[in-house]
């Protein structure tokens, strides 16, 4: 977040000023615009907030680095428009700004901060189409298709599977997602303890392989403590998996209320109960792919094009 602004500013100087510039929340936008000497009369600037450093969870024992949260705020101040990937994320982030400044010894710059909400809107991102056909299996297949990191809460996910396995429930397990140099220890334990259930373990090396493995899955439980949008969740839903989602974060925006009873839970005990029911009675497994249809790039791309056209029209 510190170095990218200087690297990209140097590259930008080699270009002609565009009509619109889009930066993500991982860029120190104020520094970039200053060093790159962006012509603000010619170029409108959009800040896309896929995540934010004011409310992003920190590991147990770690302390939040407020410098990165401050960079998010200064980036929002200098942007012409701020796009959030979900209404949940917009509310969560904007609601954290005033409390953040309450810890400062100086007076809160309220007049400046009040300029942020009016230029904020929700513009979701799209998901790739999955054209793979399901290869039927003789037992329900549970899928994990998230990053192997603490904020996706793998401990609760695998703890529930350990319990269901001990109960003698027959299921298969597909574990996808990117693994980094340091990943939660629970993954190594789960690979040993759930060996008889595993049909795939590890990162899919191609999009085709990923799509096929996802298409083969039946149930996609999610235990994440953080998701401002949930691309992996929506990809699983679009591929035909029955989602089991916590009734928090951005997920309720994705599923119509009439299906909340079958797809949402409030406690880990309820998640275990619902997952056990689906495994024991596969006919209860539903297909909610239609709920992810609105996030297809065929629909999202024209929406983004329209939003870009509007900001260009108001440019000098």
Give residue-wise pLDDT tens across range 284-313: 999 999 999 999 999 999 999 999 999 988
- Do both 49 and 62 map to the same domain? yes
Q: How is the chain classified by DSSP, letter by letter?
A: --HHHHHHHHHHTTSPPPSEEEEETTS-HHHHHHHHT--TTT-EEEEEESS-TTT----TT----HHHHHHHHHHHHH-SEEEESSHHHHHHHHHHHHHHHTTSSSPP-HHHHTTTGGGEEE-PPPB----PPP---SS-EEEE-S-SSGGG-HHHHHHHHHHHHHTT---EEEE-S---SS--THHHHHHHHTGGGEEEES--SSHHHHHHHHHT--EEE---S--SS-HHHHHHHHTT-EEEEESSTTGGGTS-GGGHHHHEESSHHHHHHHHHHHHH-GGG----GGGGGGGBHHHHHHHHHHHHHHHHHT--
Give the pLDDT score at 308.
95
Is 56 domain-assigned? yes
Give residue-wise pLDDT tens across range 168-219: 999 999 999 999 888 899 999 999 999 999 999 999 999 999 999 999 999 9
- Do both 104 and 206 map to the same domain? no
Is 307 domain-assigned? yes
Give the pLDDT score at 60.
78
Is 315 a residue whose pLDDT tops 50? no
Give the pLDDT score at 314.
55
Is 7 domain-assigned? yes
Tell me the C-alpha distance between 160 and 166, whole Å. Answer: 10
- Do both 120 and 157 map to the same domain? no
Is 171 domain-assigned? yes
Give the pLDDT score at 37.
95
- Do both 210 and 286 map to the same domain? yes
- Do both 111 and 194 map to the same domain? no
Give the pLDDT score at 180.
86
**% of the chain with per-residue pLDDT over 70:** 99
At 316, the pLDDT band (50, 70, 90 cuts) reads very low
- Do both 270 and 303 map to the same domain? no
pTM score over 0.75? yes
| CATH code for the domain of 152 | 3.40.50.2000
Is 61 a residue whose pLDDT tops 60? yes
Give residue-wise pLDDT tens across range 257-287: 999 999 999 999 999 999 999 999 999 999 9
At 224, the pLDDT band (50, 70, 90 cuts) reads very high
Give the pLDDT score at 136.
86
Q: Which domain holds residue 41?
A: 3-126+298-313
Give the pLDDT score at 108.
83
Give the pLDDT score at 59.
82
Q: How many domains would you assign to the chain?
A: 2
């Amino acid at each position: 977040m510190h170095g990218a602004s200087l690297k990209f500013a140097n590259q930008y100087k080699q270009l002609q000023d565009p009509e619109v510039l889009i930066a993500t929340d991982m860029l120190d936008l104020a520094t970039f615009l200053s060093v790159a000497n962006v012509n603000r009369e010619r170029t409108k600037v959009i800040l896309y907030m896929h995540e934010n450093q004011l409310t992003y969870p920190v590991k147990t024992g770690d302390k939040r680095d407020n410098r990165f949260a401050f960079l998010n705020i200064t980036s929002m101040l200098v942007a012409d428009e701020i796009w959030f990937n979900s209404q949940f994320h917009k509310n969560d982030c904007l609601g954290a700004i005033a409390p953040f400044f309450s810890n400062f010894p100086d007076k809160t710059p309220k007049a400046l901060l009040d300029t942020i909400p009016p230029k904020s809107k929700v513009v979701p991102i799209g998901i790739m189409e999955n054209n793979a056909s399901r290869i039927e299996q003789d037992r329900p297949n549970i899928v994990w298709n998230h990053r192997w990191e603490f904020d996706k809460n793998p401990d609760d996910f695998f703890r529930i599977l350990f319990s269901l396995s001990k109960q003698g429930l027959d299921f298969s397990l597909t574990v996808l997602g990117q693994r980094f140099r340091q990943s939660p220890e629970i993954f190594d334990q789960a690979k040993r303890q759930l060996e008889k259930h595993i049909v795939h373990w590890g990162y899919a090396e191609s999009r085709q392989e990923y799509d096929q493995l996802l298409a083969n899955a039946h149930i996609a439980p999610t235990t994440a403590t953080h998701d401002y949008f949930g691309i992996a969740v929506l990809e699983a839903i679009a591929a035909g998996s029955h989602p089991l989602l916590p009734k928090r974060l951005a997920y309720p925006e994705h599923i119509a209320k009439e299906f909340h009873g079958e797809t949402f839970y409030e406690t880990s005990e309820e998640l275990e109960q619902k997952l056990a029911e689906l495994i024991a009675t596969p006919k209860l497994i539903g297909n909610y792919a239609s709920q992810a249809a609105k996030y297809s790039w065929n629909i999202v791309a024209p929406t983004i094009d329209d939003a870009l056209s509007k900001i260009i029209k108001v440019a000098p």
